[in-house]
Amino acid sequence: ATVFADDEALDWEDQGHSDHERRFKRLGSSVMGRIILLVYTLRKSDDQETIRIISARQASRKERKAYSGSGDRF
């Protein structure tokens, strides 16, 4: 997911959807110029951290406005 290369992406913890693991959301631009919302978790094994993507979708209009700075931030 190229959204992780976006230095301007917005990140926040998704506290409402899992009691078993910490989940995060990332709103950012892909290399194709699409604004994407990712839900992911971090897994650690053998001192190595891995990003596991749970879901990815095109951002809603409200999310795109937040990303561009013209709307409310999450």
Task: Identify the CA nearest to 67 among candidates 25, 22, 32, 16.
Answer: 25
> Model's pTM, two decimal places?
0.83
Look at residue 73 in the predicted model and tell me its pLDDT. 60
Q: Is the pLDDT of residue 4 over 90?
A: yes
The domain limits of the chain are: 2-60
Look at residue 19 in the predicted model and tell me its pLDDT. 77
For residue 15, what are its two tokens? 């506290």
Q: Is the pLDDT of residue 74 over 70?
A: no
Look at residue 59 in the predicted model and tell me its pLDDT. 97
At 10-55, the pLDDT tens digits run: 999 998 877 788 999 999 999 999 999 999 999 998 889 999 999 9
CB 29 within 8 A of CB 64: no
For residue 57, what are its two tokens? 């979708």
Distant-in-sequence, close-in-space partners of 46: CB < 8 Å, separation ≥ 6: none
- Distance of alpha carbon 74 from alpha carbon 66, whole angstroms: 7
